[in-house]
Structure 1
Amino acid sequence: MVEDDVASMVLLILVLCIFPILLFNINHYIKQQKYFELLKRANMAEIDMMIGVQFEHYLQQLFLMLGYQVKLTRASGDFGADLILIKDNAKIAVQAKRYTKNVGLKAVQEVFGAKKYYGANEAWVVTNSFYTKQARELAHSNEVSLIDRNDLLNLILNAKELDAPNSQQNKTVRFDIFSAIIRVLGYSLTMLAILILLFIFV
């Protein structure tokens, strides 16, 4: 009788340990699938393959779709800005960074100088990557806006919705939640079964 109570208690503990892991895995899987779907819709893989000039031209078209007036600066001697945006009486100096690594301090310093040179109200750095801690701190103290990979993704999705409101791209991102739950549930139940067998026979 005592052994049965101990076995039941151990089994209960195992279930309580597995359940939070199950929920975490389901949530993680769903977020991961949603993010991958967003990347596919936004053509981020193609952006990652662009060279610097192509990325600047891509941003030019992107911001035009978002309702900005856009001017590309000279390829050389651009004084720290690759694009100048104008919208709602605001003038924005933008530096584009198509990077495979994190963007550092230099980009923030250059676009801050470009803001003054072009008489802009705002300064942005736009990248398909992310930023170093130092770059974020400097940008914060100098009121420079940093648009990272996730922000760029949102801009692209907004542009697609504005450009084609009745197209398939305008629909809410969908993915098979039921399939995700079944996969992770199956994995977790398998692990639980292994633990129970180990408890019984070891």
Structure 2
Amino acid sequence: MSRRKDGGIEMVSKLPWQAGLVLGAAGYVAMRYGLAWCMTTFGGPTGQALGSSLDDGAYAPAAWLLLIACWLAALISYLDSRRRHRLLASQTGLRSLSAMDWREFEMLVGEAFRRQGYKVREIGLGGADGGIDLILHKDSATILVQCKQWRTKLVDVRVVREMYGLLMHHRADAVKIVAIGHYTDDAQRFVHGKPIELISGEALLAMVRECQAATRQPKHA
């Protein structure tokens, strides 16, 4: 499964936005003051000389760049989380599910699983997915997910066979295929006795509504 590697900002932006703020502040302090202290304390004569130059602010520009990069990633993460929240909250039925583009559909499915306690890794949103759009982790299990936003076309057995092959290749524990429509009879027969779940539009809508209800439910102290 070929996949473009994420850069530093992209990696941090996939963390909760609070983590990006903390990483930026900690990285700034470590680079701006921690390196000089470590070299002066443990580096001997050479380290003391280098530490003295760092005390003069030699690494200050790099420390500021690190802080700005992490906080930029935190902003991206925050805006992204707000978008996902609005996307999930705005769904009213199968028609609204069909109105999304494929990127939004993958984001919605990922957010629905995230609200169910899964750790979600988005593959398809980053480029070539090789048939896998999401990877879920929960209770030491790895689950591969493919999203099909076909409005009229039935998902046939060929798609299911391909995902089963990916399950065996990556030694995953299970597969979930999520579609707005339905699956052919052959596809439903193929998954019998296999760790493959076919999620139709009605089942996805039920997941979304469950997440919406949990969000609206008042929190008790």
* TM interval, short-chain normalised: 0.5 to 0.7
From 91, 96, 108, the counterpart of 1:46: 96
CA deviation profile, 1:81-105 (whole Å, cap 9, x unmatched): 1100111222110110011221111
Alignment of structure 1 residues 65-76 onto 2, 5 Å: 65-74=115-124, 76=127
Corresponding letter in the other structure for 2:197: S
Residue 116 of structure 1: CA displacement?
2.5
- Structure 1, unmatched stretches of 5+, are 1-39, 168-202
What 5-or-longer segments of structure 2 have no aligned partner?
1-89
Please give the root-mean-square deviation of Cα atoms over the aligned residues, in Å.
2.2
Conserved? CA contact 2:133–2:147, under 8 Å: yes
- Paired with 2:165 and 2:92, the residues of 1 have a C-alpha distance of 31
Q: Distance in 2 between matches of 1:59 and 1:94?
A: 9
Partner of 2:17: none
What pairs up with 1:118-157 in 2 under 5 angstroms?
Answer: 118-157=170-209
Matches within 5 A, 1:82-101: 82-100=133-151, 101=153
- In the TM superposition, what are the counterparts of 1:103-182 in structure 2 within 5 Å? 103-166=155-218
Distance in 2 between residues matched to 1:43 and 1:150, nearest whole Å: 9
Give aligned pairs, total: 128
- Deviation of 1:166 (Å): 2.8
Percentage of pairs with the same residue: 27
3-state SS of paired residue (2:183): coil
- Counterpart Cα distance in 2 of 1:145 and 1:102: 16
- Deviation track 1:89-124 (CA, whole Å, cap 9, x = no partner) reads 221101100112211112201211222233321111
Change (3 A) 1:55 1:41: closer
How big is the shift at 1:153?
Answer: 1.7
Counterpart residue number, 1:58:
108
Once residues 216 and 166 of structure 2 are traced to their aligned partners in structure 1, the CA distance between those partners, rounded to angstroms, is: 34
Question: Higher RCO, 1 or 2 (CA under 8 Å, sep at least 6)?
Answer: 1
Q: Does the residue aligned with 2:142 lie in a helix, a strand or coil?
A: strand
What is the TM-score when the length of structure 1 is the normalising length? Answer: 0.57
Look up the SS of the partner of 1:120 in the other structure. coil
Q: Does the 8 Å contact 1:85/1:93 carry over to 2?
A: yes
